[in-house]
């Protein structure tokens, strides 16, 4: 739980920092494509050095396909889609759209691990997601419900990409160190991320704050945060630990209020307390291992 909370806290700054890096349509900074691929390139180089230093073992042959799918979700899909979307909408709005990520992660994690969450777990998981969505309707003053932006579609796709990457990473981290899992996924991405980042590098000067945001998402969001997060998923189970992500939207909004001066009111704090209570109860609900089929006596 402690590692999971650390991972969520580190990831919570990803959206505000990405917003800081890309700017807005009125004041653009780094291009969304460069931010997404550049962060993967920087993290990939760091991960390669880490793997060499610790003399990490090579992935098993059957793991390469899972690592590639994981990279497609968390190395390319989520960063690229959110970077483009955050040019159009603010970090608070994006945080709300991504609030259903824990449910998708839990569902995929249960399928991969052969687990059967109890009915109580799903009741509280859905309740937590419902609280977040109610907050979205109230906080957005109708924007989310009645005036969907095209960027919201990108954020939904980003949420699905992250859920796939988190579930696969948590599954792989059960059989090898979490640092190796994200490390090999990043290294596997280097042949694409490095040339693309170099091609997309900014031609004009950008603000120092934009480079600061880029540095955070490259080093912390894309690498260090995953060390804690995937280890937590392996130790506590993807289904249970993923529910800590319900707190991430509120942490992101608080960070956006501090760093970007976006609006944050009392309603946000009240809903954050309610979601925290739901997470505390949901993580105590039993999660059962699905029974394995009995062996065929004729074999």
Residue-by-residue DSSP string for 133-188: HHHHHHHTTTHHHHS--HHHHHHHHHHHHHHHHHHHHHHHTTTS-HHHHHHHHHHH
Does 121 reside within a domain?
Answer: yes
Tokens found for residue 117: 């969450």
What mean pLDDT is predicted for residues 64-75?
Answer: 92
The total domain count for the chain is: 1
Are the CB atoms for 242 and 267 separated by under 8 Å?
no
Helix (H, G, I), strand (E, B) or coil at 115: strand
In the DSSP assignment, the letter for residue 27 is: S
Nearest residue to 21 (alpha-carbon basis) of 202, 199, 250, 229: 202
Are the CB atoms for 32 and 206 separated by under 8 Å?
no
Are the CB atoms for 13 and 94 separated by under 8 Å?
no
Does 296 reside within a domain?
Answer: no
Nearest residue to 183 (alpha-carbon basis) of 12, 37, 56, 38: 56
Q: Domain range spanning residue 109? A: 2-289
Does 57 reside within a domain?
Answer: yes
pLDDT value, residue 139: 58
Does 298 reside within a domain?
Answer: no
Does 294 reside within a domain?
Answer: no
Q: What percent of the chain has pLDDT over 90?
A: 24
Per residue in 271-280, pLDDT (tens digit) is 777 877 887 7
Are the CB atoms for 187 and 222 separated by under 8 Å?
no
pTM: 0.78
pLDDT value, residue 287: 65
Q: What do you get for the CA distance between the two ends of the chain, in Å? A: 43
Does 164 reside within a domain?
Answer: yes
Per residue in 75-106, pLDDT (tens digit) is 999 999 988 888 887 777 777 777 778 777 87
Does 299 reside within a domain?
Answer: no
Average pLDDT, the chain: 82
Tokens 């809903």 label which residue? 271
Longest dimension (CA), the chain: 72
Neighbours of 191 (CB within 10 A): 10
More confident residue, 52 or 245: 52
Report the 3 state secondary structure along 76-106: HHHHHHHHHHCCCCCHHHHHHHHHHHHHHHH
Does 295 reside within a domain?
Answer: no
pLDDT value, residue 34: 94
pLDDT value, residue 144: 42
């Amino acid at each position: 739980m402690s590692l999971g909370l650390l991972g969520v806290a580190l990831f919570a700054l990803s959206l505000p920092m990405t917003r800081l890096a890309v700017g807005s349509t009125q004041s653009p900074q780094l291009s969304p494509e460069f931010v997404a691929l550049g962060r993967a390139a920087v993290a990939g180089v760091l991960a390669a050095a880490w793997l060499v230093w610790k003399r990490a073992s090579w992935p098993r042959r059957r793991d390469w396909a899972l690592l590639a799918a994981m990279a497609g979700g968390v190395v390319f899909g989520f960063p690229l889609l959110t970077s483009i979307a955050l040019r159009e909408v603010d970090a608070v709005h994006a945080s709300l759209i991504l609030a259903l990520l824990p449910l998708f992660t839990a569902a995929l994690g249960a399928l991969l691990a052969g687990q059967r969450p109890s009915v109580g777990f799903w009741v509280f998981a859905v309740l937590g997601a419902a609280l977040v969505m109610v907050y979205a309707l109230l906080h957005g003053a109708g924007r989310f419900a009645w005036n969907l932006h095209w960027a919201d579609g990108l954020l939904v796709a980003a949420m699905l990409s992250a859920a796939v990457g988190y579930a696969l990473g948590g599954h792989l981290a059960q059989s090898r160190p979490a640092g190796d899992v994200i490390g090999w996924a990043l290294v596997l991405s280097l042949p694409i991320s490095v040339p693309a980042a170099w091609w997309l590098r900014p031609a004009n000067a950008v603000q120092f704050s934009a480079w600061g945001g880029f540095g955070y998402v490259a080093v912390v969001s894309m690498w260090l945060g995953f060390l804690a997060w995937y280890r937590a998923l392996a130790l506590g189970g993807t289904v249970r630990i993923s529910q800590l992500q319900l707190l991430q939207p509120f942490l992101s909004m608080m960070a956006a209020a501090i760093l970007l001066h976006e609006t944050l009111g009392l309603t946000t704090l009240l809903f954050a307390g309610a979601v925290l209570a739901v997470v505390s109860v949901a993580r105590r609900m039993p999660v059962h291992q699905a029974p394995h089929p009995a062996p065929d006596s004729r074999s």
